[in-house]
Amino acid sequence: MASLVPPFTLETAIAKVRMAEDGWNSRDPYRVSQVYTEDCRWRNRAEFPQGRTEIIAFLTRKWAKELEYRLIKELWSFTDNRIAVRFAYEWLDDSGHWYRSYGNENWEFDPNGLMQRRFASINDMPISASERKFHWPLGRRPDDHPSLSDLYL
């Protein structure tokens, strides 16, 4: 596998997306923060975290609220130092209600392969427990689990 730094190829862009998915499915804010530059700028819904310290705080709050979090990301497009993904994740709130959140992210990387900008647009849809599609144990999605496209999401 070639290095996961710009300029991206189809192979390295797909690997970068899966690496990001695996990190987020760990639900470890510190681990996730390490793939961003020290001064990374985000837009996530109506929040605008800047830098790793704010990203860690944001993710800590997120995963305290979004229980049973399972995420699938899929490459949408890429260029030299940018990747666009679409994603869906399912989660349970503390009242026992399930949601599927859908969205798109635009990523920009520095020459070392660290993400310096992340812009996310996300919508939440309440679902019943019987509508869930992501059933693997918490953590990394198994390689044989269907993709977003396979699930028609």
Query: pLDDT tens across 57-113, in order?
Result: 999 999 999 999 999 999 999 999 999 999 999 999 999 999 999 999 999 999 999
Query: pLDDT tens across 8-18, in order?
Result: 999 999 999 99
What pLDDT, on the 0 to 100 scale, is given for residue 141? 98
Could you say which architecture CATH assigns to the domain 10-131? Answer: Roll (3.10)
Residue type, 8: F
pTM for the whole structure: 0.95
Q: Which residues contact 146 (CB under 8 A, 6 or more apart)?
A: 133
What are phi and psi for residue 19, nearest 5 degrees?
Answer: -60, -40
Q: To the nearest whole percent, how much of the chain has pLDDT over 90?
A: 98
Q: To the nearest whole percent, how much of the chain has pLDDT over 70?
A: 98
The residues spanned by each domain of the chain are: 10-131
For residue 126, is the peptide bond before it cis, meaning its omega torsion is within 30 degrees of 0?
no
Q: What does the alpha-carbon distance between residue 140 and residue 22 come to, in Å, rounded to a whole number?
A: 5
What pLDDT, on the 0 to 100 scale, is given for residue 2? 52
Q: What does the alpha-carbon distance between residue 9 and residue 17 come to, in Å, rounded to a whole number?
A: 12
- Sign of the alpha-carbon dihedral angle for 3, 50, 61, 75: negative
Separation in Å, CA 18 to CA 25, 85, 123, 153: 10, 11, 21, 17
Structure tokens at 106: 């635009």
